[in-house]
Structure 1
Amino acid sequence: MTPSVGHAVDHAVGHAVEPAVDLDKLYAARLHAVRVRPYLATALFALHVVPSRRVPTMAVDRHWRCYVSPGFVDRTPVEELAGVWVHEVSHLLRDHHGRGDRVARERGLHGRAERLRMNIAADCEINDDAYGEGLTPPAGAVTPQYLGLPEGELMEDYLRQFRLGPLTDDLAWLDCGSGADGLEREWDLGPDGAHGLDAQERDAVRFRVAQGIAGRPGDAPKGWRRWAEEAFHPPQRWRELLGAALRAAASGSGEGADYTYGRPARRSAGVPGVVLPSLRRTPPRVCVVVDTSGSVSDAELGSALLEVAAISRAVGGRRDLVTVMSCDASAGALHPLCLAEGIPLIGGGGTDLREGFARALRARPGPDVIVVLTDGQTPWPSTRPPCRTVVGLFARAGAPRTTYEEDEEGEYVPNSPPTWARVVEIG
């Protein structure tokens, strides 16, 4: 054991010194992993080894420490140890600890049993294409096939598809550490312990690995190529952004304000014998304009219907105050929102959402908010509408986001989205 490793272990357990781990064998396995997965080299060399008898095999924490069982190293061939190196660093690169924390909050998943399920789901995400081509799967590696699940999905997807039961009874030993599921272990050194990476250093490692994969995409499996693309272009939580943009537009000053005597104003107490009305905020009227031109796919139209349902929830569930209109080169009829499945989305021609805006503004009573769901390939109104506007743009991978306006000769030329609209990327 090197002095630095010994110091880290003393800090971890307070007094006991862990037995020495065969570092020559362990580092030979890491070098083998680097040779067969060169795009992971930066991440593999960033891990700091901490020997520990408390871990069953190898485990990581979110600060890029790798806790290693000396007995496990002794009994495991170098080729399999290389696979374990790649597996553990994959948990950290794919942010399974952060994603596990988010899933736990969103779905109310608490306790060690649920964290074990997260560890299994994260292993399925990694192991479906991690091995082969020079990398030997370690004994007991959990794959989607073992659980009867499809390949190529994410941890969050796998979590919805299985529960702990007979198939997972043999996996109770599994523990890849807090770096795999976000739940701190008793052996963790914590944020103030020795040899951990700070947030900036962790981001730098991920960026270097993503650069290596993007530079030689043919050398990496599909799962790693997808990860590298997202590392450069993090996906927006667009449904939350759309809801927040809509709520912000609907709650603007002066929108939907009215007076009521049903609840007298508190100022009435200062005027004996006089009942003053209180100011209340009525739910906003929302008009959703859906781009049904030929450049919008059927999948995007289906997504638009889902967003219409989300919009109704964002304004308090008042479906009677939400209307929907399809628009390509001309505007269709306004339809009240009853069931999203019953909304006719008719079109398929060119695109001119100016017609949709004009039709929405002619409605009586007029809308407080106009929401436009479009791919953005359209001319926009030249003046700001009298109500607030939210634009949901369907993503176009690899293509610049452009809209159009008319020049002096009547031709359409590229222009940026209107500055008076709140714009949210969808997809």
Structure 2
Amino acid sequence: MGTGGSSGRTLAAAAAALPEDLAGQPIRFVDTQPFNLRTGGTTAYDGPGEVRRADPDACGLKRHTSSWSANMLLNGGQAMYRRMIAYAAGLIGADADVIVTCHDRIYIETAMLHAARRQGAATVLLQEGPFCAIGHGAPRSRLLRAKALAAPLATRLLRVLPPIPEYGMAGHDRVIAASDSYRARWIAAGLAPETVVVGGIPRFDPLATLRGAARPAVAPLRVLYLVQPFAAHGKVDTAAAHAAQRALAEGLNAAAARRPIALTIRSHPRSSGDDAGVLRGALAFAAAEDRGAAPLEAVLPETDLVIGHYSSGMLEALLAQRPVACVPVPAAAFAEAAEADKQIWLTRIGIPVATNAGEIAAVLAQAGAMPATVDWGRIGEEVGTVDGHAAARCAELIAEVVRRRAR
């Protein structure tokens, strides 16, 4: 089961690596992304098996607002949730042994998990990538604070809404963590130690062998900007996001006046509009467009420097030995502390951090080899072992659950 982002790639890699004794097992990929109220769309999946697209209309769910809880209330609350569970049961099928998911928080995901357990299937959470919040920090925006205060009233006292679990805490038979550090976080949050195992990040497997020689200094500096739709998704104040893009454009313009720069703007998998319009409009030179159709490792060999805010793609670039620079958004602009923490972490791993146009221009002027200051130990805590075999490890850990239930 996948809900957008990189979940399809992660699950496809694990499914393709299942051991031989499960080679004949039917595989179904259920795409729950159409239930994503903020972005809609579908999840890209190129793995084995049948693909089933979840359809909100099939269970009568209408989109009145992008707020999960408010929209559920407007659709009937618990009555709608029961219809979602019944619909999910049909998507899963009565013969499922195990449901593997990368996410377990939005209502369609928890409905799928409820339906799976009613039908006797096990559930496994496979961590999709880095920057996962195990327990969310205090919300910062007034709207989110109000929703946090109202949640216990709606879910526990009035029981008009089903509860939303913390990530990985939805009662899974197994949780596959990316690293020992994440395993420790889940155990500290209350999961039984025997439930949480370490597998790595399957979609990072190609990065293990991705290396490239530096280009001659006379060549244009190939810069890749990783777009994040955090303003459109309500994660960051729109004015602050636009200010960061304007500063980036000013820095790029200044640097391009001194050395040749070939800029590519890469869309995020969840981008649904022009999330880089402010940057593009402020540039004094033309930039290439990358709609993000190909995985990041396919474009990194043609990249000399990656610039972003707090994208997991910045970690991928580092793992592929590509220099990375962070252009941070002010911490006060984040709607949730947990989201701001991702960026704070990135600014503390030894990569260049540029907060204004002058600093951005300076980073571009000096771009070249990987800095010796990169803290690979801290990066390892976030991504685990990147050796090209994470998909095989995770597939075996999933297979163990299937075999255990077959006894």
TM-score bucket of the superposed structures, by smaller chain: under 0.3
TM-score (norm. length: structure 2): 0.25
Higher relative contact order (CA closer than 8 Å, sequence separation 6+): 2
* Bigger Rg over Cα: 1
- TM-score when normalising by structure 1: 0.24
